[in-house]
């Protein structure tokens, strides 16, 4: 409200979300609101008419939804966990939204979900701008059990990147995505704390085997180490059965998976580390390659492939095609095959885009 009052009456191009304009003692008759958007605000008819005359678009509240389509901020863990009854993952707000929206396919609800995702886009951009740090994405399998060598390696990588001033971003799910967010979360703790946290998590290695225990072990880690460092999860309600990733300090959750995947790859201007994964990881890899090939977001970012399966294993033919594409496009030097987290971290540091500065962000959480 204070920002609105400060800018009034010139609201050209402003986005005003969820404000009750009925209690604002402002003169709307002379407002300049060309290209402004008022989304989900409560107002009387005279205010609607004045804003429309001033050139604004007024989007009314949409009642009866299990989510707010007009969001001005990212999700937090506490918000998505709201309503949780211990031992029942299905009671979280996150699970309730996913279950309710799976059946919402009529035009109004599809529109509402699209508006929601557009608002998440804007909130994510604002978050990254305010943070002022370089994002590095870590992609990988959602089914890798906790405590495995791959899990531990990715957690170590997430920690090292965060300690060096990068912001780690993942798809916000379980498996190696959780490992990367866990490592980032534990960045301010002593080195042995990450091993201790993993030991707690190993009691419930797979979500599908025991969802309640899987979530409980993660909550125990959060209780023991509550002051996590800033990192980002970008999940989707397409995978309605996936749990809330407990170690993402900020969460940009989408309904539309294609927008979510493209956006996650786009914000990782510092590069992406592709860790062992399945078809989803491979899809992300070639989507990222297309973004690089067309220089779609003003910068070509490093692609680091961590694991023997990329270099000489089952995916070697696909990786030969990737390297040929990159070489033909003039960015072959941005593709690097490495064996472990130390080499992956070194490659990201070495290959970061020269026109992008890596500031050291505050290690904070919302």
Instruction: List the chain domain ranges.
Output: 2-59, 77-351
Rounded distance between C-alpha atoms, residue 138 and residue 154, angstroms: 8
Rounded distance between C-alpha atoms, residue 38 and residue 227, angstroms: 36
Rounded distance between C-alpha atoms, residue 140 and residue 60, angstroms: 40
Nearest in space to 215 (alpha carbons), one of 251, 246, 249, 252: 246
Q: Give the SS3 label for residue 236.
A: strand
pLDDT tens-place string over residues 205-247: 999 999 999 999 999 999 999 999 999 999 999 998 899 999 9
Nearest in space to 234 (alpha carbons), one of 276, 213, 205, 264: 264
Nearest in space to 162 (alpha carbons), one of 145, 143, 179: 179
Report pLDDT for 96. Answer: 96
% of the chain surpassing 70 pLDDT: 97
The yes-or-no verdict on residue 298 having pLDDT over 90 is no
Rounded distance between C-alpha atoms, residue 52 and residue 106, angstroms: 28
Q: Taking all residues of the chain, what is their mean pLDDT, rounded to a whole number?
A: 93
Rounded distance between C-alpha atoms, residue 165 and residue 358, angstroms: 7
Pairing state between β 167-170 and 232-233: parallel
The pTM score is 0.92
Rounded distance between C-alpha atoms, residue 25 and residue 167, angstroms: 41
Right CATH for 77-351 from 3.40.50.10950, 3.40.50.450, 3.40.30.10, 3.90.1170.50: 3.40.50.450
- Half-sphere CA count of 136, side-chain side, radius 13 A: 35
| Cα–Cα–Cα angle for 104, 100, 244, rounded to 5 degrees | 125
Confidence of residue 134 (pLDDT cuts 50, 70, 90): very high
Confidence of residue 357 (pLDDT cuts 50, 70, 90): low
Could you write out the DSSP letters of every residue in 112-174?
Answer: HHHHHHHHHHHHHHHHHHHH---EEEEE--S-PPTTSHHHHHHHHHHHHHHHTT-EEEE-S-S
| Higher-scoring residue by pLDDT: 297, 366 | 297
33 by Cβ neighbours in 10 Å (0-12 / 13-18 / 19+) ranks as buried
Confidence of residue 356 (pLDDT cuts 50, 70, 90): low
pLDDT tens-place string over residues 251-278: 999 999 999 999 999 999 999 999 999 9
Rounded distance between C-alpha atoms, residue 127 and residue 144, angstroms: 30
Query: CB 134: neighbour CB atoms within 10 A?
Result: 25
Could you write out the DSSP letters of every residue in 36-47?
Answer: -EEES-B--HHH
Strand arrangement of the beta sheet that strand 335-338 belongs to: 250-251, 232-233, 167-170, 135-139, 272-274, 303-306, 335-338
């Amino acid at each position: 409200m204070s920002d609105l009052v400060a800018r009034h009456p010139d609201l050209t191009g402003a986005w005003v979300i969820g404000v009750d304009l009925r209690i604002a003692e402002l003169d709307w008759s002379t407002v300049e609101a060309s290209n402004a958007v008022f989304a989900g605000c409560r107002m009387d008819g005279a205010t609607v008419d004045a804003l429309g005359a001033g050139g604004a678009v007024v989007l009314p509240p949409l009642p009866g939804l299990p989510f707010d389509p007009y969001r001005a901020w990212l999700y937090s863990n506490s918000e998505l966990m709201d309503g949780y009854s211990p031992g029942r993952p299905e009671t979280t707000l996150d699970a309730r939204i996913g279950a309710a929206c799976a059946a919402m396919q009529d035009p109004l609800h599809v529109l509402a979900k699209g508006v929601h995702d557009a608002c998440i886009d804007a909130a994510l951009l604002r978050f990254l701008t305010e943070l002022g740090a370089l994002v590095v994405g870590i992609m990988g399998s959602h089914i890798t059990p906790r405590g495995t060598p791959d899990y531990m390696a990715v957690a170590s990588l997430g920690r090292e990147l965060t300690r060096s001033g990068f912001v780690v971003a993942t798809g916000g799910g379980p498996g190696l995505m959780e490992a990367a967010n866990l490592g980032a979360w534990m960045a301010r703790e002593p080195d042995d704390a990450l091993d201790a946290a993993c030991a707690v998590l190993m009691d419930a290695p797979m979500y599908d085997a025991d969802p309640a225990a899987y979530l409980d072990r993660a909550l125990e880690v959060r209780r023991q180490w509550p002051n996590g460092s800033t990192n980002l999860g970008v999940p989707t309600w397409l995978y309605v059965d996936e749990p809330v990733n407990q170690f993402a300090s900020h969460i940009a959750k989408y309904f539309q998976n294609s927008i979510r995947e493209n956006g996650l790859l786009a914000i990782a201007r510092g590069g992406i580390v592709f860790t062992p994964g399945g078809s989803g990881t491979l899809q992300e890899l070639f989507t990222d390659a297309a973004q690089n090939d067309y220089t779609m977001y003003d910068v070509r970012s490093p692609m680091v492939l961590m694991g023997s399966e990329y270099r000489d294993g089952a995916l070697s033919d696909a990786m030969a095609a990737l390297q040929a594409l990159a070489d033909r496009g003039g960015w072959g030097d941005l593709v690097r095959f490495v064996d472990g987290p130390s080499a992956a971290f070194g490659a990201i540091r070495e290959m970061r885009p020269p026109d992008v500065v890596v500031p050291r962000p505050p290690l904070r959480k919302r």
